[in-house]
Amino acid sequence: MKKLTIALLTATVSVTGAFAGTTAKTFKETITPAPECKFRDQEIQIDAAAVGAFGNSRPGWGGGLGVNYFFTKYIGIGVEQDIVGREAFGGSSGGAKWITAGNFLLRYPICSWNLAPYAMVGGGAAYASEQAGYGFGHVGGGLEYRFTNNIGVFSDARYVYSSEDPKNALLGRAGLRFAF
């Protein structure tokens, strides 16, 4: 009888582990890190752009270079130098204008899309060899897309107002932007 009691007790102890319940669930969550934003604060940008100016129904085409500095991810300043050639009425050359402008920039990076819409306000001076220079102001906006942390493309447009001819104009730029 002792052998039978020990055998039944051993079988009972062995089987109770099978009916003890379900396995414990772990509450370990896997969190994927957010992708790094390609738009940084304390960032210097160098622009190389094609420029189009539209005023007095005479388009002007050219190019330009610019440098921007962003204090934060959202606020920056910039300066640019553009040259625009214009053809006068009747096919004669209208000469080239040098345009120097300063900008105050506000951007809102959408990091998951590598995209940053931005707004700008500023002013500067335009001058040519055959006429005296004059000042102007402008307001506009643009869009920048980053392929990598340091290389992107941009396009912007601005409304230019001045007391000189053309009093109202539209200036557009598109090009490459290098960020450091």
Confidence at residue 85, expressed as pLDDT on a 0 to 100 scale: 86
Confidence at residue 23, expressed as pLDDT on a 0 to 100 scale: 65
How much is the pTM?
Answer: 0.76
Please, which residues have CB within 8 angstroms of residue 19's CB and are 6 or more apart in sequence? none
Confidence at residue 94, expressed as pLDDT on a 0 to 100 scale: 63
From CA 170, how far away is CA 177, in angstroms rounded?
A: 21
| Alpha-carbon dihedral sign for residues 32, 34, 35, 36 | negative
Query: Which stretch of DSSP H or E encloses residue 69?
Result: strand 58-70
**What integer is the mean pLDDT of 95-113?**
93
Q: What percent of the chain has pLDDT over 90?
A: 58
Q: Which residue has the higher pLDDT, 173 or 88?
A: 173
Give tens-digit pLDDT for 110-157: 999 999 999 999 999 988 877 788 899 999 999 999 999 999 999 999
- Lowest mean pLDDT, pick from 9-13, 17-21, 34-38, 82-86: 17-21
Return the CATH fold of 43-179: Porin (2.40.160)
Binned at pLDDT 50, 70 and 90, residue 73 comes out as very high
- Token code pair at residue 43: 């960032």
- Token code pair at residue 85: 């050639």
From CA 11, how far away is CA 51, in angstroms rounded?
A: 89
Confidence at residue 156, expressed as pLDDT on a 0 to 100 scale: 96
Closest CA to 63 of 45, 83, 78: 83
Residue linked to tokens 């003890």: 20
Closest CA to 75 of 100, 109, 102: 109
Where are the chain's structural domains? Answer: 43-179
Confidence at residue 60, expressed as pLDDT on a 0 to 100 scale: 87
From CA 61, how far away is CA 55, in angstroms rounded?
A: 12
